[in-house]
Amino acid sequence: MPITATPSAGKGLLTPTDHTLILVDHQPQMAFATASIPISTLRTNTALVSAAARDFEIPTILTTVAEKSFSGPIFHEIRTAFPDAEVYDRTTMNAWEDAQVTDAVNLAGKSRIVLAGLWTSVCITGPVLSALDQGFEVFVITDASGDISDEAHERAVQRMIQAGARPMTSLQYLLELQRDWARTETYDTTTAAAADFGGAYGIGLHYALAMLGEDAREG
């Protein structure tokens, strides 16, 4: 029997209403030792993810470890996107072992979890494996995460993939939520976030706007 193609999205794609985002330990003390990604790039990618979550109204959980006694405040880019959000400070390296975090997950009520943070091998692998074990579908934004070496980051990502997690990038996250340029209600915020934090793609958007003015629209 032939397979029929239909113009519909695959079930594996994220939507703005089917997941919770958890940002873990984007803090100075963790960033100081991060070597798998330039900190400037990490901050930009984290800002892009945060802007996407804010603009698409994704339930977002912010968590830190030893904020006042050791690791310092959450990245400015995250706080800018969520100025009034509660930040759950922990003692556990695995955020999933903190009831504040799991209570927030349960309150959001989503079966899909998207995570990013520092460091990949500890503070991301822990909650990813724990969430998978409890039946959640888990995605990891790998370029808004980092570790003390390329080896540490890559082995952690491989381990999570082997356990069933799905890797993605920050720009992929933004564009997967938009997915159709005809969705006019989020067109402007999506292109604005990409223009501000989307690297070369963002420069291209600035160029198109400067050259074509109001005619510079995708779709």
**Residues annotated as catalytic (active site), given as ranges:** 123
Report d(CA 64, CA 193) in Å as an integer. 24
Q: Is the dihedral of CA 152, 155, 157, 159 positive or negative?
A: negative
Give the residue among 167, 176, 171 at the shortest CA–CA distance from 196. 171
End-to-end CA distance of the chain: 35
DSSP 3-state assignment of 63?
strand
Instruction: Work out the number of other CB atoms within 10 angstroms of the CB of residue 8.
Output: 6
Return the residue matching tokens 């504040």. 100
| DSSP structural state of residue 116 | E
DSSP 3-state assignment of 140?
strand
Ordered strands of the 112-117 beta sheet: 87-90, 60-65, 19-24, 112-117, 137-141, 166-168
